[in-house]
Amino acid sequence: MAVIAEEDTQEVIEEKAEYHALKERETAELKQWRVHLINILLVTITFFVKAMRGSAVEPSIIGISTCGWPSWLLLGGFFFSFSAWAWW
């Protein structure tokens, strides 16, 4: 716990407690496993969206055209869902 001086205000005391809680949460090994899982999930879903949309070199794995409306709908849904997830 933080060293609290007598002249510290309540706001300073709360900031010190918040700082130490943050430090404890982020300095230990494997404390950020949730962040790593989110990144792995993002990369995996990005790979599958790209495979489903296809490209000029590789065809779509679900048989849609690269610039057709299903492809754009898939991409838009991907952007919307991950933007909402990042905002949340």
pLDDT digits (tens, 9 = 90+) for 5-57: 656 788 888 888 898 888 877 776 666 777 788 889 889 999 999 999 988 88
* Among the listed residues 31, 27, 75, the one whose alpha carbon sits nearest the alpha carbon of residue 53: 75
Q: How far is CA 30 from CA 23, 25, 34, in A?
A: 14, 10, 9
What residues have CB less than 8 Å from 42, skipping those under 6 apart?
82
Query: Residues 45, 80: one domain?
Result: yes
Please tell me the distance from the alpha carbon of residue 53 to that of residue 70, in angstroms, as a whole number.
Answer: 8
Query: Residues 27, 46: one domain?
Result: no
Query: Residues 52, 21: one domain?
Result: no
Residue 8 backbone phi and psi in degrees, to 5: -65, 135
Residue 26: domain span: 1-31
Q: pLDDT: is 63 or 33 the higher one?
A: 63
Query: Residues 19, 1: one domain?
Result: yes
Query: Residues 14, 45: one domain?
Result: no
Query: Residues 48, 74: one domain?
Result: yes
Return the number of other C-beta atoms located less than 10 Å from residue 8's C-beta.
Answer: 14
